[in-house]
Chain A
Amino acid sequence: MAKNIQSLERAAAMLRLLAGGERRLGLSDIASALGLAKATAHGILRTLQHEGFVEQDPDSGRYQLGAELLRLGTTYLDVHELRARALVWTDDLARSGGEAVYLGVLHLQGVLVVHHVFRPDDSRQVLEVGAMQPLHSTALGKVLSAFDPVAHAELVDAKREPFTARTVTDLDAIERDLDLIRAQGYATDAEETWEGVAALAAPIFDRHRMSVGAVGITGAVERVCRDGEPRPELIAALRDTARSVSRDLGAKPF
């Protein structure tokens, strides 16, 4: 096994020292307890403070555990919270885009549909909440794979089934597609999963700029695409929606 990184070991020791009860310690206490030079201890504490793991009391100058550390274990986004926050925006996307809208999150080795807004015409449609979609061929799946490393790992491991003649199953080709998706900020599925159906999807981020899900719009390829390319006004509307939901989840625009 490789040699451990000393500064990380020291940072861990500091966190342990500060843990347990309402402990506040000054710089010299921490330095002497761990047998460190004050300057060394101060450098590590400053880094921990910057990450929010340690806070400094402005009056006494003493250090204590930061709020971020407490949040670390409990901040996963509840998918039902995601749906509740996205409801208004996804309704509006379906209305303005004239197509069905879906929200997806990573689940096992695929995309779990957690919200579905019907296409705004009077046709019979069936609610698809709870359905699974593949990662490698759908727009939702590709966005998750491009922006969430865990989804990417699942994609690499998963069996990549060819659903239509257009499905890309070769990993190198998929990786090139994911690079493009990261660069342009959205994914396309033009008849790669279902014949005659095209979809667009964009990522939803939380306040840590972590990808927590994807929003997609799906319809007949003739309506979603023009001259073989997705319609730019649909892309714009979709990305506005993704930004609005992300903003409601606390993500800052950059």
Chain B
Amino acid sequence: MTDTHTGPFIAAIDQGTTSSRCIVFDKDGRIVAVDQKEHAQIFPKPGWVEHDASEIWRNVQEVVAGAMVKAGIGREDILAIGITNQRETTMLWDKHTGKPVHNAIVWQDTRTDMLCKQLGGDVGQDRWRRETGLPLAAYFAGPKIAWLLDNVEGLRARAEAGDLLFGTMDSWVIWNLTGGVNGGVHVTDVTNASRTLLMNLEDLSWNEDIAAEMGVPLQVLPEIRSSSEVYGTVTGGSLGSLLAGVPVASALGDQQAALFGQTCFSVGEAKSTYGTGTFMLMNTGEKLIHSESGLLTTVGYRIGEQDPVYALEGSIAVTGSLVQWMRDQMGLISTAAEIETLALTVEDNGGAYFVPAFSGLFAPYWRSDARGVIAGLTRYVTKAHIARAVLEATAWQTREITDAMTKDSGVELSALKVDGGMTSNNLLMQFLADVLDAPVVRPMVAETTCLGAAYAAGIAVGFWDSVEDLRANWRRAAEWTPDMDPAVRDREYKHWLKAVERTMGWQDE
């Protein structure tokens, strides 16, 4: 760090898909110290992905201690600790021993595909969409619990006897932080609960009918709490001496945490995180909007006793990973950043469009029979044109999600707040502003996920008074303004949509 930070501070734990991190923030929302540790990805069968939850808990303790050492601070400097986590990853543990009874089933794991089809029955994947805001898909936690209870010897009996606890990673970390077998609190927050297919969006309580249909005993489920309140304090364990008495004061799923960290507190404000895939969330306020366009309805956040804030979510499966594919599979570039260099050697896409429907089309189409295409090829097209088409694909997919959100919510996007690795790509960010016909804004702190968890924890303990305090911390690092002839934009969008059509019906099902 380039200058001194004065305490007190908030620590945020980000229990992510590939690693666990802890970041210490000061009152201005600036990073004081970071520590990070990766954990093993376990692939027992094709399509199956697991994590060892014991390893994850060990890593969480290490990175919290590590970040405090790097920041040179002790527990008296930490006002609260917040948590954000990979969403939907599901685990069960024995409440008497504190030991996981099986590896955690990761959100990407597809083993519950068939189970979801069965649960959908004649109605199909939208069977519980009205209640939960979600389609019946393998990502979500509820069916993963059912799978564990039905496929691991003895678990159902232990669950029904009240010996097992279910949690997503927020619950597991909070339970351990607050004492584990010695009085740990078994809670989850509304955002994580909204990804289980088991929670009523309307009143934020477990839906007993769905749980019964799915075969999930209610006694395994944690208590649903707000995203920003003191759940308990750190006690005992290896962090006990280091952080004893520090309040554990927030939990948010990672994408919702980014929405919070980007300070999207008003209706119509949206953020888009550009990583290997892309997740876009729009704040729809206290209004619960049921999407007609294939978007998910989810809880954005809930601060203490205040009304919950809902959000619409659209995800794009392939964005940054398409650039990686160009690097690793095609060998057209040697680093991800070089895609911009190559793309800048030509003026436009040369008529080529790349729709990376590698595993089907997601929102707003939901066509699993689609596969990727490069359309519009002629002798004229070079690898540089393809590089352009690769970057443009990310922008057009964002445009499609944005259009769906506008249609569902009736709110026009005034500006898009962006974060994630691809925001360093200047050409992409400009093109994004051009096709959205709205400014694209990058904030000064790239770590919006951790920042969101820190903000929610800080609000719970009065470190920050209100969301207005947090808005004051938000700093614009860059802004790209639209600069494209509307006629060109319309023509290009038409071509893109034509290319999307070409992807459908490729796979015989």
Chain A contact residues, CB within 8 Å of chain B: 78-81, 83-84, 87-88, 91-97, 115-118, 120, 122, 125, 127, 129, 233, 236-237, 240-241
**CA–CA, A240 to B336, complex, Å?**
26
Is A83 touching B444 in the complex (CB atoms < 8 A)?
A: no
Specify which of A83, A95, A115 lies most central, judged by the most chain B CB atoms within 10 Å of its CB. A95
B69 at the interface (CB under 8 A from A): no
B445 at the interface (CB under 8 A from A): yes
Given the complex, which residues of B lie within 8 Å of A122, measured CB to CB?
476
Is A79 touching B2 in the complex (CB atoms < 8 A)?
A: no
**CA–CA, A118 to B441, complex, Å?**
11
**CA–CA, A87 to B426, complex, Å?**
12
CB proximity to A under 8 Å, residues B328-371: 335-341
Given the complex, which residues of A lie within 8 Å of B479, measured CB to CB?
118, 125, 127
Given the complex, which residues of A lie within 8 Å of B28, measured CB to CB?
95
B244 at the interface (CB under 8 A from A): no
**CA–CA, A127 to B423, complex, Å?**
14
Return 16 A-B CB contacts under 8 Å, by A number. Answer: A80-B339, A80-B425, A80-B426, A81-B335, A81-B338, A84-B336, A91-B445, A92-B1, A95-B444, A96-B2, A96-B3, A117-B477, A120-B444, A125-B479, A236-B2, A237-B2
**CA–CA, A117 to B426, complex, Å?**
12
Shortest CB distance A173–B (Å) = 32
Is A93 touching B2 in the complex (CB atoms < 8 A)?
A: yes
Given the complex, which residues of B lie within 8 Å of A84, measured CB to CB?
336-337, 421, 424
Shortest CB distance A24–B (Å) = 27
Is B478 touching A116 in the complex (CB atoms < 8 A)?
A: yes
Given the complex, which residues of B lie within 8 Å of A81, measured CB to CB?
335, 337-338
**CA–CA, A240 to B4, complex, Å?**
13
Is A117 touching B338 in the complex (CB atoms < 8 A)?
A: no
B326 at the interface (CB under 8 A from A): no
Is A117 touching B2 in the complex (CB atoms < 8 A)?
A: no
Given the complex, which residues of A lie within 8 Å of B475, measured CB to CB?
95, 118, 120
Is B30 touching A95 in the complex (CB atoms < 8 A)?
A: yes
**CA–CA, A93 to B476, complex, Å?**
14
**CA–CA, A96 to B2, complex, Å?**
7
B446 at the interface (CB under 8 A from A): yes
Shortest CB distance A157–B (Å) = 26
Determine which of A83, A236, A240 lies in contact with B424 in the assembled complex, contact meaning CB atoms within 8 Å: A83
B147 at the interface (CB under 8 A from A): no
Is A88 touching B446 in the complex (CB atoms < 8 A)?
A: yes
Is B444 touching A94 in the complex (CB atoms < 8 A)?
A: yes
Is B477 touching A129 in the complex (CB atoms < 8 A)?
A: no
Shortest CB distance B331–A (Å) = 14
**CA–CA, A80 to B344, complex, Å?**
11
Given the complex, which residues of A lie within 8 Å of B335, measured CB to CB?
78, 81
Given the complex, which residues of B lie within 8 Å of A240, measured CB to CB?
2
Say whether, besides A91-B444, A91-B477, A95-B475, A78 and B424 are in contact (CB < 8 Å). Answer: no
**How many B residues are at the interface, by size bracket?**
20 to 34
Interface 1/0s, chain B 1-12, versus A by CB < 8 A? 111000000000
Of all A-B residue pairs in the complex, the 7 with the closest CB atoms, nearest first, are A80-B337, A81-B337, A237-B2, A84-B424, A120-B475, A80-B340, A240-B2
Is B337 touching A83 in the complex (CB atoms < 8 A)?
A: yes
CB proximity to A under 8 Å, residues B423-461: 423-426, 444-446
Considering the complex, give the chain B residue whose CB is closest to the CB of A124: B479
Given the complex, which residues of A lie within 8 Å of B3, measured CB to CB?
96, 233, 237
Given the complex, which residues of A lie within 8 Å of B339, measured CB to CB?
80
Determine which of A78, A96, A127 lies in contact with B341 in the assembled complex, contact meaning CB atoms within 8 Å: A78
Given the complex, which residues of A lie within 8 Å of B477, measured CB to CB?
91, 94, 117-118, 120
**CA–CA, A129 to B479, complex, Å?**
11
Given the complex, which residues of B lie within 8 Å of A80, measured CB to CB?
337-341, 424-426
Apart from A95-B30, A117-B477, what 19 extra A-B contacts exist at CB < 8 Å? A78-B337, A78-B341, A83-B426, A84-B424, A87-B423, A92-B31, A95-B28, A117-B478, A118-B477, A118-B478, A118-B479, A120-B477, A125-B479, A127-B478, A127-B479, A127-B480, A233-B3, A237-B3, A241-B2
Given the complex, which residues of A lie within 8 Å of B423, measured CB to CB?
87
**CA–CA, A127 to B441, complex, Å?**
11
CB proximity to A under 8 Å, residues B1-55: 1-3, 28, 30-31
Considering the complex, give the chain B residue whose CB is closest to the CB of A87: B424
**CA–CA, A83 to B424, complex, Å?**
7
**CA–CA, A94 to B336, complex, Å?**
25
Is A117 touching B444 in the complex (CB atoms < 8 A)?
A: yes
**CA–CA, A37 to B424, complex, Å?**
56
Determine which of B31, B338, B476 lies in contact with A78 in the assembled complex, contact meaning CB atoms within 8 Å: B338
Given the complex, which residues of A lie within 8 Å of B425, measured CB to CB?
80
Shortest CB distance B122–A (Å) = 50
Considering the complex, give the chain A residue whose CB is closest to the CB of B335: A81
Shortest CB distance B292–A (Å) = 36
Shortest CB distance B480–A (Å) = 6
**CA–CA, A127 to B338, complex, Å?**
21
**CA–CA, A78 to B345, complex, Å?**
13
**CA–CA, A166 to B337, complex, Å?**
39
Shortest CB distance A80–B (Å) = 4
Shortest CB distance B174–A (Å) = 29
**CA–CA, A91 to B423, complex, Å?**
13
Given the complex, which residues of A lie within 8 Å of B341, measured CB to CB?
78-80
Specify which of B2, B339, B478 lies most central, judged by the most chain A CB atoms within 10 Å of its CB. B2
**CA–CA, A36 to B322, complex, Å?**
54
Given the complex, which residues of A lie within 8 Å of B424, measured CB to CB?
80, 83-84, 87
**CA–CA, A233 to B455, complex, Å?**
29
Given the complex, which residues of A lie within 8 Å of B444, measured CB to CB?
91, 94-95, 117, 120
